[in-house]
Structure 1
Amino acid sequence: MDLMKWPIFSLLESDFVSQIRMACVFGNLGNEAIMVTKSDEVFAVGSNSAGCLGLGDLRSTLFPKKVEALCNKLVKGFAYGCGPHVIAFTDNGTVYSWGHNGYSELGIGSSNQCLSPTLILPNVFGKMTVVTEVACGTHHSLALTRDGEVYAWGQNNCGQVGSGMSTNQSAPRKVNSFIGEKRTISIACGQTSSMAVLESGEVYGWGYNGNGQLGVGNNMNQLNPGRVLNLQGVIIKRVVCGYAHAMALSDVGGLYVWGANSYGQLGTGNKSNVSAPVRVVPEIGRIVDIAATHYNHTSAAMTQNSKVFMWGQCRGQSIISPTETPFTSLHDVFACFSTPSVSWKPMEVDLDAGEKITDSLKLAFDDSSSSDLTITVSGKPIHVHKAVLKIRCQYFRSMFQDHWEEDNKSVLEMDHHSYLVYHAFLQYLYTDEVNLPPENALELLELANAYCELQLKKRCEQIIKQGITVENAALLYSTAIVYECKELEEFCFKFCLNHMTAIIQTEGFNSLEEQTVKNFIRKAATSGVFRS
């Protein structure tokens, strides 16, 4: 992901860019930006409409100016409306707001404009409340707490605050109309609508619904959260909103869409609005990430194989079906093709001026001209360097320092794993990247476990999570137990609970060891899955 694809950053000096760790672009013309550096300083640049840069005045700036009130606060994320107003939350869960406030979207108890970041008083949320996510519509805001509670404030003419009324809300207020005590895990805002995903995988929407963007099967506004229809048996993990449409990602990589479609932003192959979720054709493969913003009508998705697709309003064209791009980041879609060009969420940046040592190491991998060791797998050579292997891997460190027989060899044969997996493992030692198809991640996990590579095990777990299905969930659960991958085990267990009826009918479940099945059933019973 290249910051230079965003016009607003084109005047930044390379030394400054190399220090940025997070950045966001917003504003009705994509003409405002906020940046956080690696040293935890916060800077802003742009036209400064309504004081949205937080600089304490209304003056625009072509070059970065420091936002003093946010420096050294460990800012973790931002959300932004169209006034514009900006909401920021920190690592310890505190919330700041500034900018346009004509509709009380700052949540400070009044409609007075704020030119500098203002702390939303902790007692509004409660002393122990920690905010972990924020979202903004055009003139309203949402906050999600660590306890899974949703707070809302701001403009409420269409019910987007979810208070049961249509009067504006000047301070954060808990949205109380969710069913039971289920926790919320994800939030999103359209222009004048709000969405939330519960831990159970259910989705709720409220606010304006003139285009069916709430997914409740009609076009009537909702003053209280209503459950999205047509998703029975589907476990949704995340939802994103465009200006008047929504997209939801399921736990098995399915993409569901609903709402406005005048620009083809639903990706259904036509321009007809949809008032209840429909699944986008799965030909593009399993999806692992989705992107949209209330600023425009552009949609994007990344597949399991890191392919980036876009559709909807793309630089004046209406793209009605997902179209593959050469991009490697979802952010690039919005930098190059959305109108306005605003970031759909803050960008995590890893840039450095000049060549890094990691770049040199990448080039050295499998380079026969500089290697001093060849590892052959199934007769195929992989050229490596003993020094790199010793530095990066305890297994090889022992081999080359403890006078193993292999220490004096220039060629080693390794046939316990496939060439593809062993090549990926050695490449990881040089690049810290895992380049391997998801279907081979289990074998790499086995290798990482044998070599005691804990970080690689974690990387494998993440790849495996993205590839979980009803058919392989039981096998993955058993594998996680064998290799003591506690986080993966818990992830697979929850997936199995959500798809219990289908899981127990699979060959994978039938092949589990008897003790594993007993332990699984006992744990499932404790979780209340058999409760009548």
Structure 2
Amino acid sequence: MDGNSKPHNTTSNVDRTGPILGYLKNIESSDMWPFLSLLPADMLGKINLVYVFGQSATEVLFTTVDEQVYSLGTNSSGCLGVGDNQSSLEPRCIEMFNGLKIASIVAGSGPHVLLLTQDGEIYTWGHNSYMQLGNGGTAPGVQPSLLSRHINHRVVQVSCGSHHSMVLTAEGEVYTWGYNNCGQIGSGSTANQGSPRKVTACIGSKRISDISCGQTTSIAVTDSGEVYSWGYNGNGQLGVGNNVNQTNPCRIAALQGVVVTQVVCGYAHALALTDNGSVFGWGANSYGQLGSGNKANTVTPLQVATNIGRVTTIAATHYSHSSAARNQHGHIYMWGQLRQQATPDPRLTNFHNLNAVFTGFSSPPVCWTAVAGCSEVEPSVQQSVSRAFNDENSADLRILVEGKYIHVHKSILKIRCDYFKRMFQSHWDENDQDVIEINGYSYAVVYSFVYWLYTDHVELPAEDTIGLLDLATSYCEEGLKRQCQKLIKESIAEDNVALVYAAAIKYSAKELQDFCFQFCLNHLTRVVQTDSFKLLDKEIMYKLVCEAAKNGAFKR
């Protein structure tokens, strides 16, 4: 049997796919987040992270680039964290967070709030009738309190259900607390729990890599790609083949044979993403939220959204019956309850960000995750530099590749790239030449490389990214190498993984090499039958097979 392990890779509850304005091209910001239109212009330009939540999407938390946290809105149960229950249309600063770097924000239905810092500490506040704040009491928390004494390790991921909370530590441990009427905290009973406790039944000895909460359910993914669920199961949202609630984690047997890397929960449905970009769904489906093309519930996972290509990220929130996904080409699809309309088939959008689906179409229009980025009132330095790329009017240098020119600026190339800095300082006569020629790489690869120097973004088809990785290695651009590796990982499949593994070795891309090895291990039987495996250099093939054997791929 093939091995099915994958590297531990926790996910952040922050959507970092671009600035807020990056996906407001088709929807007015006042339609999506009317509260933000009330902010002073200078404050709006400093926003670093935004999270909109609550049963009516009337609560807002946001951080600024100068490391302050603000809140505004109706302040239900003191969820704004400012020390009282007073509603406010003016942003109020939560001063205890001044100077802290915030990694993630999530909220339940009460609402109660969990805030995670980049140092792995958790603060909770808001609704607490079911002890979902984890402080042992039931009184509302009108200001944040640090929750650390019951959790022994640094927290890397947080999730909330309706009235329960779940966190994941860097060691792969899961802690839960709060409302437990259906067994959603996985303690083996239905008694509420006032403080965080490690979930030990069934998953206590396993390393968890991803977590998600539905309204009254919890789901965890192990680092070997197994999926466990517990809690309420009236709509089959546990995926275990029946409608019986589970007070302890129960493995979803129907997903055996696939390697799951991400799971998300809606109000009463769940989606899972596999390492080869396939999506499985189960649970409630009255609005088509599974993406199966119909509105029939299912108690066992079935493959869905099969016509949208290889998927790299899935999204859902316990607040709604909506679902979304991004494929490897960056296209955003949505399905389920979309502005009260049932949409059982994935629909292609013009959005650039998964959060746009939820803030624009779900009910309530909350954030799926906290959104990183800000809308600038005036162009920022970065925006101005980006716009100068390939601008013939302002450029003072041309790069010639395959007979075509790229218009650039010497000063930017010198600042951003040591290779060009050395070139200009050593043997470049700025008075005699305004053209440099680059050979050995395609126009698309060089264009993408220079575009990255101006923008920090890579825009290149996955099949060309190996060439860009080669160039980045030659020019010693480690940041670009990391981005290339990420893009390449999103395109890995059984028929190309062997050659990508060889390329990763060639370009000293250790993270990509490890990823490819684990993928090969997960799908070894099929990988060794592909043409790309047969084309491997014999030494690399021998290395791959030996490493696979050491990891138990050939054990009976």
Shift of 1:406: 9.6
1:321 paired residue number: 345
Superimposed CA distance per residue, residues 407-447 of structure 1 (whole angstroms, 9 cap, x where no aligned partner): 84333443311121121112222222211111110011111
Does the CA contact (< 8 Å) of 1:399 and 1:407 recur in 2?
Answer: no
Does the CA contact (< 8 Å) of 2:305 and 2:346 recur in 1?
Answer: no
1:250 paired residue number: 274
After superposing the two structures, state which structure 1 stretch, 454-463 or 175-184, moved more. Answer: 175-184
The unaligned stretches of length 5 or more in structure 2 are 1-18, 22-28
Shift of 1:301: 1.1
- Give the residue type in structure 1 aligned to 2:41: S
Q: Does 1:501 align with 2:528?
A: no
Superimposed CA distance per residue, residues 40-91 of structure 1 (whole angstroms, 9 cap, x where no aligned partner): 2111111011111111111111111111333334332122111111112222
- Give the residue type in structure 2 aligned to 1:107: G
Q: Could you tell me how far apart the structure 1 residues matched to 2:398 and 2:366 are?
A: 48
With over 3 angstroms needed to count, the CA separation of the structure-2 counterparts of 1:367 and 1:76, relative to structure 1, is: closer
Does the CA contact (< 8 Å) of 2:20 and 2:371 recur in 1?
Answer: no
Q: Does 1:181 align with 2:205?
A: yes
Shift of 1:191: 0.6
Q: Could you tell me how far apart the structure 1 residues matched to 2:161 and 2:117 are?
A: 20
Q: Structure 2 matches for 1:177-216, cutoff 5 A?
A: 177-179=201-203, 181-216=205-240
After superposing the two structures, state which structure 1 stretch, 390-399 or 237-246, moved more. Answer: 390-399
With over 3 angstroms needed to count, the CA separation of the structure-2 counterparts of 1:101 and 1:500, relative to structure 1, is: same
The DSSP-based 3-state class of the residue aligned with 2:412 is: helix
The DSSP-based 3-state class of the residue aligned with 1:401 is: helix
Structure with bigger RCO (C-alpha 8 Å, 6+ apart): 2
2:20 paired residue number: 2
Q: Could you tell me how far apart the structure 2 residues matched to 1:324 and 1:25 are?
A: 24
Superimposed CA distance per residue, residues 207-263 of structure 1 (whole angstroms, 9 cap, x where no aligned partner): 111111111111111111111232222111111111001111111211111111111
Shift of 1:367: 2.4
Q: Structure 2 matches for 1:126-525, cutoff 5 A?
A: 126=152, 129-179=153-203, 181-403=205-427, 408-525=432-549
Does the CA contact (< 8 Å) of 2:203 and 2:249 recur in 1?
Answer: no
Shift of 1:504: 2.1
Q: Could you tell me how far apart the structure 1 residues matched to 2:333 and 2:379 are?
A: 30
Does the CA contact (< 8 Å) of 1:134 and 1:144 recur in 2?
Answer: yes
Equivalent residue pairs, number: 529
Shift of 1:449: 1.3
Q: Could you tell me how far apart the structure 2 residues matched to 1:454 and 1:73 are?
A: 28
Does the CA contact (< 8 Å) of 2:110 and 2:162 recur in 1?
Answer: yes
With over 3 angstroms needed to count, the CA separation of the structure-2 counterparts of 1:420 and 1:407, relative to structure 1, is: farther
Does the CA contact (< 8 Å) of 1:473 and 1:495 recur in 2?
Answer: yes
1:32 paired residue number: 59
Q: Could you tell me how far apart the structure 2 residues matched to 1:508 and 1:206 are?
A: 41
Q: Could you tell me how far apart the structure 2 residues matched to 1:249 and 1:216 are?
A: 17
The DSSP-based 3-state class of the residue aligned with 2:195 is: strand
Shift of 1:531: 4.4
Superimposed CA distance per residue, residues 317-354 of structure 1 (whole angstroms, 9 cap, x where no aligned partner): 11111111111111111111111111111111244331
The unaligned stretches of length 5 or more in structure 1 are none
Does the CA contact (< 8 Å) of 2:266 and 2:317 recur in 1?
Answer: yes
Q: Could you tell me how far apart the structure 2 residues matched to 1:475 and 1:405 are?
A: 42
- Give the residue type in structure 2 aligned to 1:441: T
Q: Could you tell me how far apart the structure 2 residues matched to 1:66 and 1:389 are?
A: 40
- Give the residue type in structure 2 aligned to 1:182: K
The DSSP-based 3-state class of the residue aligned with 2:254 is: coil
TM-score (norm 2): 0.91
Does the CA contact (< 8 Å) of 1:70 and 1:117 recur in 2?
Answer: no
2:150 paired residue number: 124
Superimposed CA distance per residue, residues 135-171 of structure 1 (whole angstroms, 9 cap, x where no aligned partner): 1100111011111011111111111111111111111
Q: Could you tell me how far apart the structure 1 residues matched to 2:526 and 2:277 are?
A: 17
Q: 2:126 aligns with which of 99, 108, 126?
A: 99
Q: Could you tell me how far apart the structure 1 residues matched to 2:534 and 2:500 are?
A: 13
Q: How much identity, in percent, do the aligned residues show?
A: 48
Q: Could you tell me how far apart the structure 2 residues matched to 1:385 and 1:61 are?
A: 48
With over 3 angstroms needed to count, the CA separation of the structure-2 counterparts of 1:281 and 1:114, relative to structure 1, is: closer
Does the CA contact (< 8 Å) of 1:260 and 1:274 recur in 2?
Answer: yes
- Give the residue type in structure 1 aligned to 2:328: Q
Q: Could you tell me how far apart the structure 2 residues matched to 1:70 and 1:385 are?
A: 41
Q: Could you tell me how far apart the structure 2 residues matched to 1:383 and 1:23 are?
A: 36
Does the CA contact (< 8 Å) of 1:69 and 1:116 recur in 2?
Answer: no
Q: Could you tell me how far apart the structure 2 residues matched to 1:75 and 1:405 are?
A: 47
TM-score (norm 1): 0.95
Shift of 1:179: 4.8
Q: 2:46 aligns with which of 19, 37, 40?
A: 19
- Give the residue type in structure 2 aligned to 1:341: P
1:51 paired residue number: 78
Shift of 1:177: 1.6
C-alpha RMSD of the superposition: 1.9
- Give the residue type in structure 1 aligned to 2:150: V
Q: Could you tell me how far apart the structure 1 residues matched to 2:304 and 2:193 are?
A: 36
Shift of 1:206: 0.5
Q: Does 1:72 align with 2:72?
A: no
After superposing the two structures, state which structure 1 stretch, 173-182 or 212-221, moved more. Answer: 173-182
Q: Could you tell me how far apart the structure 2 residues matched to 1:181 and 1:482 are?
A: 37
Superimposed CA distance per residue, residues 168-227 of structure 1 (whole angstroms, 9 cap, x where no aligned partner): 111111111225732001110001100001100111110111111111111111111111
